[in-house]
Chain A
Amino acid sequence: MAGRYRSPLTRDDVTPKSLYLNRRQIMAGSGALLGAGLIGGRAQAQDLQPNSWEEITNYNNFYEFGTGKDDPARNAHMMTTEPWSIQIDGLVDNPGTYSFAEIMEGMTVEERIYRLRCVEAWSMVVPWNGFELADLLERVGVQAGARYVAFETLNRPEEMPGLRFPVLEWPYREGLRLDEAMHPLTILATGLYGEPMPNQNGAPIRLVVPWKYGFKSIKSIVRITLTEEQPPASWNMAQPREYGFYSNVNPNVDHPRWSQATERRIGGGLFATRQDTLMFNGYEDEVAGLYEGMDLAEFF
């Protein structure tokens, strides 16, 4: 069922395509955008203007293509995304290998303009296109015993040069609690700015969980498994003290090596001021209920 969540940001807040393709033109057009924002009366939306296509596609963490922020933009073209299929297994009624087209069948793709907060204390606003993960899970039929959802990224060394290095234990893995996975904010994204998902952003299909640090939103998914036990997650396996299974955005719980109280919004240039990080990345009203009674400093 689509449309369970409506973003306070709308299509009007997204930079028009003719503008986002060229930063200089954006600068020229910023007056017009500001005008449109004022007429629409979206005061909040103005300081949450989505990042440009250039910013979103040139500053990525996708270690399968290298650990530099510009490595994915440089190397991700090597990844074959057609054909693509996802193996769905574990505690589901209809396990199997589903082609990309089969997965998209009957799904309503909507635009979701979400904040993205990286664990490294930078952030963006991204206009994703995708559908709710709950819709897919309902279609494959979640069995009664399932409590978690595990995800896996493509593991194809000949197309992913970063896999040669043991930065993490490959393949990249992530997981969610079932209620987190079924939450209407949680989507599988297949595009951004109305275009097919660029490879460096996790083509052809990736998870987006906007209230968690970015690394939870696993890219280029090839496997989804419903499990009873909490599944292993790559960063958590590598440094359990630094990266918890939950990894909800929380300005009050610091990463052991740096503060999470503030963040740097990408796109502000060399003299951008830091801004305060919001609890659950600004989605507290929607998701705080999932963690009622839990000590978020312990379950970080």
Chain B
Amino acid sequence: MTALQSLSDDLAAAVDRASAALVSVHARRRIPASGILWKPDVVITNHHVIQREEGIKVTLADGTTVGATLAGRDPATDIAALRLERPAPTSAALGHGPLKVGQLVLALGRPGPAVTAALGVVSSAGGEWRTWSGGRIDQFVSLDVSIYDGFSGGALVNSAGEIVGMNSSGLSRGAAMTIPFPTIIRVAEQLLTSGHMRRGYVGVGLQSVRLPSAIASQLTPARDVGLMVVSVDDGGPAALAGLHIGDVIVAFDGHPASEPSEMLAQLTGDRIGQIAAVRVLRAGAFADLLLTVGERPARAGRR
């Protein structure tokens, strides 16, 4: 047997190994999307492919179709968790470790009865990043694989046939990206317990503004941009702490605050109920306020 033939057999075997956990998710008008059977009764898919919340159906690898209910969806990370009405016999074999540039990967989907495959490499891999809507993703991974119908919600598989991520074309203007499995587990566990991602909440609208140089030179690290409070939610944590419109936040819990995303990054679910120190510039002088991080209210029907 030639090296090529054995590589080909290995790739086909990797697809075969992972395919038992690849399912079709019927929750939109077009052709079905793909999903990953994470636990015998839990399917993970993309948030953006769930276009109806009632009458969701999942077709398993053995061809049987099972009803499913939406356990929760997180638009910020494009992850949705479905609970099957009847458990499936198998679940996914997961791979570990960060993905490396150049690593051979297969993008699998199940847009129809059969599993489909595309081959490529990890084209770039970085550190933790935030999606445009503030979702924290453990590793930035973009792929050099072609996107086809039903790609979203499918699995990224390494050469050993282990599932290392879930593919999405909905995170970065249609480019092929993968959500690494540590992120999926973190988000899905919260979706399964509380139905949504708990996120910290301060209750202010913010706008970056330039600071006077006399003020900027007093800050460490030095920076000349702060966040002006442009709105305060009635009864929210910021209102209770005494923040006013016109205050300029320069630090949140000791971390510099120059961009709204920097403050958003601090407001993870585990901060809910904790006290945070906020340093603001008010009437030309610094003031320190203490606020209790609240929980961002779930917005019904928000996609």
Is this pair of chains taken from one and the same complex? no
Interface residues of B, Cβ cutoff 8 Å to A: none
